[in-house]
Structure 1
Amino acid sequence: MIRSKKDYKFYLEADRIAKAIPKKGSLFLLIRNIIFPNYVWRFQKTLRKLEYYENCKKGIVSFVVRLFLTKKYFNLSVKLGFSIPTNVFGPGLSIAHRGTIIVSRGAKIGANCRLHACVNIGTKAGADELAPTIGDDCYIGPGVKMYGEISIPNGTAIGANAVVNTSFDEENITIAGVPARRKGKVDTFDFIIPATRIIESGYDDALDLKGLTGNKLREKLSCRPLSMDE
């Protein structure tokens, strides 16, 4: 959760890297973004700024700014089909595409999450606070449905259209199916950009690591390599 301006800047930079947004764009990119705006990135920036003002800023002026940001956040949510509350996602969020995404306010999702369209992360029926808790470095495929007071560990890849209604304990696995079952070992660094780890390792941009995945990327980031042996 964003608790300071330093946190806000970190979250914003992590989100930028996770979405592979260039740090400094060319004139061509500037013109393209004016003609064809990246509304998903615009939504994520607005979400983070609203979180900062909700959590850290007080006073009349900040209240007025928060009203403006809330209106902008609402308009972008409607345009993109998102129902994503504030203070749910950790840094390094990457929303892959526009399209219906519904997330419960009670959900807690860690750093470096990448999720696709038609995802629904909901609660147990009649209990707004009983929603999933999802770890760091997780990949959520298109059409995934998750609900209830369940726990998903770090490094989990959830296959397309899976229905997840039970907790898992083992890290770095793929789960898929209806209902979701363990399918095998996985390294989600093959599917996500681990933005917070990139920042913490001192790299300026994900472009410095272009083309690296799995254990090759882990080696560059001084992360423990994973064994895919069952």
Structure 2
Amino acid sequence: MIESKEDLRYYLEQDKIALNYPSSQKRPTFKDDIWKFEILLRKNEYVTNCLTSPLFLPYKAYIKYRYHKLSVKLGFSVPINSIGPGLSIAHYGLLTIGNCQIGKNCRIQEGVNIGATSGNPRAATIGDNVFIGTGAKIIGDITVADEVVIGAGSVVTRSITESRVTYAGVPARKISNNNSKMFINKNLD
């Protein structure tokens, strides 16, 4: 969770690395809406958590408005303070994340849905260095271990407690011992 300006810088730096932007490049390309979205996500977390004075209310409203507007444009529904540093959203397209906690260095493809079920307001707790494939659904108050790959189109309804494995299918089951190393940028902390 972002609790200071230093945290904001760190999160943005890790997100930039996760998106494979060169560190020498000050700003990614002008039309990169996913990078703009991630910047606004982190700024929204910062203004919500850190700027408590009433003097900042107009700025907070402005950031929240821009974040909402870009979320609608891209088809993203991502709550603040739910994803660790090193977020990489691969493409635009439907992305719905409920009341969950996602660790650092997560790569999420398009069409992913992470949500709650059966009247329980809590969604999944996802570990570090997890790759979530196109169209995957993670449903319920479950746990996903570190360095797990969730294959495209998979439906995960039970906890994945074993690290460094690949799950796929409907319902998802273990299909190999391959980890997420090939999908996550090696330069991340």
Range into which the TM-score falls when normalised by the shorter chain? over 0.9
Over alpha carbons, which structure has the higher Rg? 1
Q: Which runs of 5+ in 1 are unaligned?
A: 198-230
Question: What is the TM-score with the length of structure 1 in the denominator?
Answer: 0.79
Q: Residue 96 of structure 1: which of 90, 98, 115 is its match? A: 90
Question: Alpha-carbon deviation of 1:74?
Answer: 0.6
The code of the aligned residue for 1:95 comes to I
Whole-angstrom CA distance in 2 between matches of 1:50 and 1:61: 16
Query: How many matched pairs?
Result: 189
Q: Which runs of 5+ in 2 are unaligned?
A: none
Structure 2 residue aligned with 1:63:
57
Please state if 1:111 is matched with 2:104: yes
Once the two structures are superposed, the pairs formed by residues 13-92 of structure 1 within 5 Å of their partners are: 13-25=13-25, 33-34=29-30, 37-92=31-86
Structure 2 residue aligned with 1:144:
136
Question: Alpha-carbon deviation of 1:170?
Answer: 0.7
Once the two structures are superposed, the pairs formed by residues 159-178 of structure 1 within 5 Å of their partners are: 159-178=151-170
- Secondary structure (helix, strand or coil) at the match of 1:23 reads coil
Relative to structure 1, is the Cα distance of residues 146 and 18 closer, same or farther in structure 2, using a 3 angstrom cutoff?
A: same
Question: Alpha-carbon deviation of 1:20?
Answer: 1.1
The code of the aligned residue for 1:109 comes to I
- Secondary structure (helix, strand or coil) at the match of 2:181 reads helix
Q: CA RMSD in A?
A: 1.5
- Secondary structure (helix, strand or coil) at the match of 1:131 reads coil
Whole-angstrom CA distance in 2 between matches of 1:181 and 1:161: 12
Tell me the alpha carbon deviations over residues 21-54 of structure 1, each in whole angstroms, 9 at most, x when there is no partner.
Answer: 233339xx87xx34xx100000000100110110
The code of the aligned residue for 1:182 comes to K
Higher mean Cα deviation, 184-193 or 11-20?
184-193
Question: What is the TM-score with the length of structure 2 in the denominator?
Answer: 0.95
Instruction: Considering fraction of residues, name the structure with more helix.
Output: 1
Q: Percent identity?
A: 41
- Secondary structure (helix, strand or coil) at the match of 1:54 reads helix
- Secondary structure (helix, strand or coil) at the match of 1:75 reads helix
